[in-house]
């Protein structure tokens, strides 16, 4: 951390290297499909990535305590991605991101933008719930970030909305707070990132919903351009 936003020169390379790793690996990850002259279908890397994430035990405590791995949900060809911090209790129970109270608020925000959850892709930095909803540990973020980068690399959305401090700081490699970061776009390998408040924060601070709506209007304008 500590780097200014926008400096992501190696991120796409990391993503591509990771996808290559997934393709080549036959031990920790799902076995590679039989080699064929026929080019793989567009969804193959996605399926392989999903299988890898669903079987992941890199964070021993999280792998032991989770009920589900929450890969993410929505449209794998979405123009807009929402990325939060980590699954909570409800998400862990259901295996889906943003399905608790904060998730219901996110759904309302998405619908107010004229979209549906199926139009966007929703994910978290961590795919497994930290016990008691504690903050993710640095090593857990390091373990799981390649999966997120691989998701971004395969979806290639036009815009990413980073929800809350963790997502914004991990994606933008900065220690600046969400209050300092929100309200404008940052560039990441041709993808625009807009940080805004996490819906869970909005449940505690409803007065800031207005600021989030201002941010969503920026995203809508960008998607229309």
C-beta closer to ligand SF4: residue 159 or 167? 167
Tell me the CA distances in angstroms from 74 to 46, 79, 82, 99, one per residue in order: 13, 11, 10, 13
Listed residue (166, 102, 105) closest to 130, CA to CA:
166
Residue 127 interacts with ligand SF4 (CB under 6 A)?
yes
Which string of DSSP letters, residue by residue, matches 133-168? GPPPPHHHHHHHHHHHHHHHHHH--SEEEEEHHHHH
Residue 129 interacts with ligand SF4 (CB under 6 A)?
no
> In the set 1, 16, 32, 63, which binds ligand SF4 (CB under 6 A)?
63
Characterize 123-148 residue by residue with b for buried, 16 or more Cβ atoms within 10 angstroms of its Cβ, and e for exposed.
bbbbbbbbeeeeebeeebbebbbbbb
Binding residue count for ligand SF4, defined by CB under 6 A: 15
Residue 140 interacts with ligand SF4 (CB under 6 A)?
yes
The one segment of 7-15, 62-70, 89-97, 170-178 that binds ligand SF4 by CB under 6 A: 62-70
The one segment of 112-120, 123-131, 160-168, 213-221 that binds ligand SF4 by CB under 6 A: 123-131
Which string of DSSP letters, residue by residue, matches 37-71? SSPPPTTHHHHHHHHHHHT--SSHHHHHH-S----
> In the set 15, 73, 75, 143, which binds ligand SF4 (CB under 6 A)?
143
| 89: its two tokens | 């209790």
Q: Would you give the binding string for ligand SF4 spanning residues 81-110, x where CB under 6 A is met?
A: ------------------------------
C-beta closer to ligand SF4: residue 57 or 112? 57
Distance CA 162, CA 81 (A): 8
Largest CA distance in the chain: 58
> What Rg, from alpha-carbon coordinates, does the chain have?
17
Nearest distance in Å: CB 155, ligand SF4? 18
> In the set 62, 78, 122, 160, which binds ligand SF4 (CB under 6 A)?
62
Nearest distance in Å: CB 46, ligand SF4? 16
Total Cβ atoms within 10 A of residue 210: 9
| 102: its two tokens | 């904060």
Q: Would you give the binding string for ligand SF4 spanning residues 41-60, x where CB under 6 A is met?
A: ------------x--xxxx-
| Binding positions for ligand SF4, rule: CB under 6 A | 53, 56-59, 62-63, 69, 126-128, 140, 143-144, 147
């Amino acid at each position: 951390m500590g780097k200014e936003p926008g400096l992501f020169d190696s991120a796409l390379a990391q993503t591509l290297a990771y996808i290559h790793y997934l393709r080549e690996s036959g031990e920790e990850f799902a076995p590679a499909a039989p080699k064929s002259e026929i080019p793989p279908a567009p969804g193959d890397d996605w399926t392989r990535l999903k299988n890898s994430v669903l079987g992941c035990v890199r964070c021993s405590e999280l792998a032991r305590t989770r009920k589900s791995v929450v890969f993410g949900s929505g449209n794998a060809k979405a123009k807009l991605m929402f990325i939060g911090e980590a699954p909570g209790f409800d998400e862990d129970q259901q295996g889906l991101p943003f399905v608790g109270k904060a998730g219901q608020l996110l759904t309302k925000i998405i619908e107010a933008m004229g979209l549906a959850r199926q139009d966007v892709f929703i994910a978290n930095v961590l795919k497994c719930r930290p016990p008691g909803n504690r903050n993710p540990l640095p090593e857990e973020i390091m373990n799981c970030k390649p999966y997120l980068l691989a998701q971004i690399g395969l979806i290639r959305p036009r815009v990413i909305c980073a929800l809350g401090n963790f997502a914004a700081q991990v994606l933008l490699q900065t220690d600046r707070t969400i209050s300092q970061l929100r309200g404008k776009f940052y560039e990441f390998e041709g993808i625009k990132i807009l940080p805004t408040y996490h819906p869970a924060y909005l449940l505690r601070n409803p007065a800031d919903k207005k600021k989030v709506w201002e941010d969503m209007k920026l995203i809508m304008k960008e998607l229309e351009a």
